Structure 1
Amino acid sequence: MENAKKEKIENQLRQLLNAASQEKDQNELPAPRRMGGIQVIRKRKGQPDQHIFENPCLN
């Protein structure tokens, strides 16, 4: 009796975990693509940041 209950509970747990992992995969959004803009190079020792424009018409 104990083994049957234990197996039933383990099977239910596996089903719940599988359902949760499938739901998680469906909810994940792909990473947004980067479309141009400004790249900032951080400097140290009190020097200002340098901005590099990726799109030449922005200079």
Structure 2
Amino acid sequence: MNINRESTAQFIRQCRRVLHVSKKPDREEYQQVAKITGLGIILIGVIGFIISIIAQLIGYL
């Protein structure tokens, strides 16, 4: 992999541009993202639990 000054400088410029455009979420937006993420984690856990129970029931039959 060939890394030179020009590609490094371009990468730094791109990073600075992204940081300039991005903004810190306010409290309401943060809480909404946290609720949605938590709901997704719970949903995946419930689906996994149901699959585990079904697998155990099939294994015992």
The alignment's TM-score, normalised by the length of structure 1, stands at: 0.50
* Cα displacement string for residues 1-58 of structure 1 (whole angstroms, at most 9, x for unaligned residues): 100000000000000000000000001121846xxxxxxxxxxxxxxxxxxxxxxxxx
Instruction: For CA contacts below 8 A with separation 6 or more, give which structure has more relative contact order.
Output: 1
Give the residue type in structure 2 aligned to 1:30: L
CA distance in 2, matches of 1:30, 1:24: 12
Match of 1:2 among 22, 27, 35: 27
Match of 1:25 among 34, 50, 56: 50
The alignment's TM-score, normalised by the length of structure 2, stands at: 0.49
Unaligned runs of 5+ in 1: 34-59
Q: Highest CA radius of gyration, 1 or 2?
A: 1
Structure richer in helix, relative to its length: 2
Unaligned runs of 5+ in 2: 1-25
CA distance in 1, matches of 2:28, 2:36: 12
Percent identical among aligned pairs is 0
CA RMSD of the aligned region, Å?
1.6
Structure richer in strand, relative to its length: 1
Following TM superposition, the consecutive aligned residue runs of length 4 or more in structure 1 with deviations greater than 2 angstroms are none
